[in-house]
Copies of this chain bind each other. A is one copy, B any other.
Amino acid sequence: MISIHTPPQPTDLGDVRVANRAVVLRHVRRHAPCSRADIAAATGLNKATVSSLVTELIDRRLLRETGLTENRVGRPATMLVLDGEPYVGLGLQVGADEIVVVAVDLGGNRLLTWRRAFAAPAASPAETVQALAALARRAANRVTGQGRTVLGLTAGVPGLVDTDGGVPLAPVLGWRAVPLAAELRRVLREPGFAVGIDTDANLAVLAEQRHGAYAGAADLVHLTGGVSVAAGLVSGGRPLRGGRGFAGELGHVPLDPAGPACACGRRGCLAALTGVDAVVRRLLPDATRDGPVTDYLPELDRIQALARAGDAAVLDGLADVGRQLGHGLSVLVNLLDPEVIVVGGHFATLAPWLLPPARTALAAATLAPPAGGCRLEASTLGATAGALGGATAALSAIEAGRLPAG
């Protein structure tokens, strides 16, 4: 688990400089191009402080001066923009049938997105770590070959993540007590950058908060689709992780004691009712004739085609899954009252059929009328939101005002 909020600490001057550096970087990210005087005026920092911080940030290639100057009386002011091109964060994501790597520079530009077929549920943890490390190494080589520096890597997994970067339990992967961060570091052999782990849901909601259609919403939820169903939570503008980092497990809320068996060992969990495997089994009874599905994309394509063609059984099944999704989300809305819930994975792919019945069921089962005003929408970030969030998380230390090493 990546700890974002920390308990109050005594402040020393080093901390103040770090905090002020973060303020300057954030201002430039939002308002570039801007001058040193603009930054001082907007942030309340004095001009000498801004000047000293900017000099340091230019030295470290986090900011750069443009040729532009402001047209005003007196000495022309040199305009600044975010540089950050030399610095890259990597994000990994483990799904049911693929692993993904995304690289993002400090300016928020997505440099690469590679998806590789890989059935992690059928592989051992060691094999999955090897595959993740190989993909990360290739991505790191690509961006370092472009003269950039990788500052960090964060991998998102569908399961519980503890504060040491271990995975105590990931039912859909069949993992128990896998020290993932330590194993990744070992296999990557001292890669020279920080390696962190978080849940795919926490990383996906970070991607939504920064890059999604509802970026900036203070009370925001991303529900991951796929074989795992989990909620990444932002409440009051901050990530909500719980006491031990185990928050957001909406997928294992038992909705129906008579429902189907879940990978977690219980029955009728939201994941067992609405996860991609349950949806494919239910809507395409022939899909598992030759064994378990290891590639969901073609099956989802078939479901979409059948739905578009008006197949009654598929449409009925989708409406039922949508109602179950809405029922499950009502638990979250009653408890957390978010402004908006964004659904990813197969929920986004099948949104035209799932979301209307889900919205009706959500409103019916939420105490605050109507659904507390909560919106339910499909993510626009695609199936790699977790990896995008991982890359974003890998840059968070710099955005918080720490300088890159070296």
Contacts and interface: CB of A to CB of B under 8 A. Distances in A.
A9 to B, nearest CB: 12
B336 A247 contact: yes
A277 interface: no
A173 to B, nearest CB: 14
A244 B338 CA distance: 8
A308 interface: no
Interface string A37-73: 0000000100000000000000000000000000000
13 contacts: A5-B236, A11-B44, A238-B238, A240-B240, A243-B374, A244-B337, A245-B337, A246-B367, A247-B336, A249-B334, A249-B367, A253-B331, A335-B335
Interface in A240-267: 240-250, 252-254, 264, 266
Nearest to A364: B266
A3 to B, nearest CB: 10
A327 B338 CA distance: 23
A367 B169 contact: yes
Interface of A: 5, 7, 10-11, 44, 160, 168-169, 171, 218-219, 231, 233, 235-238, 240-250, 252-254, 264, 266, 327, 330-332, 334-339, 364-369, 372-374
B373 A334 contact: no
Contacts of A219: 242-243
A249 B368 contact: yes
Contacts of A249: 334-335, 367-368
Contacts of A373: 243-244
Given A242-B372, A244-B373, A247-B336, 19 more contacts: A7-B237, A160-B367, A169-B369, A171-B367, A235-B235, A236-B241, A242-B338, A244-B337, A246-B337, A247-B337, A249-B334, A249-B335, A250-B335, A252-B334, A253-B331, A254-B365, A264-B367, A266-B364, A335-B336
Contact of A368 (B246, B339, B367): B246
A160 B368 contact: yes
Chain multiplicity (copies): 2
Most buried by B among A264, A337, A364, A366: A337
Contact of A241 (B168, B171, B253, B337): B337
A137 to B, nearest CB: 32
B236 A240 contact: yes
Nearest to A219: B243
A331 to B, nearest CB: 5
A243 B337 CA distance: 6
B160 A242 contact: no
Contact of A335 (B7, B247, B266, B339): B247
Contacts of A335: 231, 233, 247-250, 253, 331-332, 335-336
A10 B169 contact: no
Contact of A246 (B233, B241, B327, B372): B372
Nearest to A4: B236
A336 B240 contact: yes
Contacts of A364: 266
Nearest to A220: B243
Contact of A266 (B331, B365, B372, B374): B365
A390 B12 CA distance: 37
Nearest to A373: B244
A367 B241 contact: no
Contact of A242 (B10, B168, B235, B254): B235
A291 to B, nearest CB: 27
